[in-house]
Amino acid sequence: MKAHIAVLAGDGIGPEVVVEAQQCLEAIARRYGHEFRFEAAPVGAIAIDTTGSPLPDATLALSKASDAILFGAIGTPKYADPTLKVRPEQGILKLRTELGLYANLRPVTCFESVIDASPLKPELLVGVDIMVIRELTGGIYFGAKTRTPTSASDVCTYTVPEVERIARLGARLARERRGKLTSVDKANVLETSRLWREVVVRVLRDEFPDVALDHMYIDAAAMHLLRRPADFDVVITENMFGDILTDEASMLPGSLGLCPSASLGDGPRGMYEPIHGSAPDIAGKGIANPYATILSAAMLLRYSLGLTTEATTLEQAVVGALAAGVRTGDLKPRGAAATTREAGAAVLARL
């Protein structure tokens, strides 16, 4: 097949890890006879420096014209002040809104060969395979905001259709997995959470009676994610809760550098990125972990291009590299830490 892939590497370690993922996609294309065309564009701090905007019009146009977007990371210390009117984060928020990417899929998989890298006891991690779906374009991040010298407010709003589409996506994925869906909210306190729970109950009851549904408050979910993580299958939750919960969940496999993500809407186009940040403290040193970005590329193959076999091949290549002991510094290497390029080369060798 032919595919046009936008490459938005961004800032910090973004370009370093994205290049490894792109090389893996190129290797997959050669192996399976596909034709992938890659086109790069600036986003984030580097885009502000060159164009004045964190999401230039040309970058947005490229993203809309592509079949999928491979994304790196954004942000630099130069733009870390949250009071700035123009910030790198505005670029990714606008990109999600403009492309209608309302669901963020974050798989959490504990790889057996690096289970010792996790701060949790190994016996808690056996069989951990979680898919967290975070609502991405609603809630407090996108609500009305006010600020006076003495007060500030951020309004959290959800509509029935916004909750319905997340519930349906979560239930469909649960059907393909272990058939269990956990909805995380704060319905004992928040009105938006009460709406969320009512809608999820109705959708599952009327459309997915074969999927087991349970509910959990966000504070209890945060606790049980560390206490009994293997009990979770598919988790759905609102924007801010999902942002926090998935960063906590990243510690199960041992590093943010093992956690990919996919941001999806109603069509096949999606944006694929590691959940880690731009890590400016290690940028340019060649020591960043590229595995999460490579695994994000595998999600790109699966969800946007419909290439399931190719996606599995790439995922297994990552598993093989980890099993061979190719660990970057964040994965508690037993010997010398692998560089970014060495980790990427180890995956390529298995393709």
* Catalytic positions, written as ranges: 141, 186, 219, 243, 247
Q: Tell me the three state secondary structure of residue 188.
A: coil
CA atoms of 125 and 115, how far apart (whole Å): 8
Strands 68-73 and 270-274: parallel
Q: Tell me the three state secondary structure of residue 139.
A: helix
Report which DSSP code applies to 338.
Answer: P
Strands 68-73 and 2-10: parallel
CB 322 within 8 A of CB 328: no
- Helix ranges restricted to H, 119-190: 122-125, 160-176
DSSP of 215-269, one letter per residue?
EEEHHHHHHHHHH-GGG--EEEE-HHHHHHHHHHHTTTTT-GGG-EEEEE-SSS-
Strand partners, 69: 6, 271
CA atoms of 213 and 183, how far apart (whole Å): 7
Report which DSSP code applies to 199.
Answer: H
- Helix ranges restricted to H, the chain: 14-32, 45-51, 57-65, 89-99, 122-125, 160-176, 191-207, 218-227, 239-249, 291-303, 308-323, 340-349
Phi (first) and psi of residue 143, to 5 degrees: -75, 170
